[in-house]
């Protein structure tokens, strides 16, 4: 029973273009959403987050959009850079669950020079 799904296992984008990574969740009680980035041989690192009371959060080249009615989360990276090539995990948090993160399966982003 996957509560968080990333339906695209991989995505290839040209340098300078926009990368859009998608995530769907099933539980409307989730109230905090995060994106983590993982390079090979390293642990995931926090990238950006959004609270359920917002529909957009922006940090430099990274913007996260939340569509609560569709239970859909997306991460936009623009412009994409080769150093952005990594696996991106979305994660959800239920506020009263002691910061228990539930992760999606990840999307491998490849940004081609």
Of the two residues 77 and 91, which places its CB atom closer to another protein in the complex?
91
- Name which of 95, 90, 109 is nearest 5 in CA terms: 90
Query: Smallest gap, in angstroms, from Cβ of residue 62 to another protein?
Result: 15
Residues 78, 52: Cα–Cα separation, whole Å: 23
List binders of another protein among 18-47 (CB under 8 A): 32, 36, 41-46
Q: What is the largest CA-CA distance in the chain?
A: 43
- Give me the sign of the Cα torsion angle 49, 64, 73, 35: negative
Give me the 43-72 binding string for another protein, x by CB under 8 A, dash otherwise: xxxx--x-x---------------------
Residues that bind another protein (CB under 8 A): 4, 9, 32, 36, 41-46, 49, 51, 89, 93, 95-96, 98-106
């Amino acid at each position: 029973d996957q509560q968080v799904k990333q339906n695209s296992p991989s995505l290839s984008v040209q340098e300078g273009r926009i990368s859009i990574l998608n995530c769907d969740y099933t539980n409307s009680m989730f109230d905090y959403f995060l994106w983590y980035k993982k390079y090979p041989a390293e642990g995931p690192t926090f990238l950006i987050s959004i609270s359920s009371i917002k529909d957009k959060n922006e940090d430099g080249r990274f913007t996260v959009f939340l569509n609560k009615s569709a239970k859909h989360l997306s991460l936009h990276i623009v412009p994409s850079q080769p150093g952005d090539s990594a696996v991106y995990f979305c994660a959800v948090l239920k506020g009263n669950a002691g910061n228990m993160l539930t992760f999606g399966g990840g999307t491998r982003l490849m940004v081609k020079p």
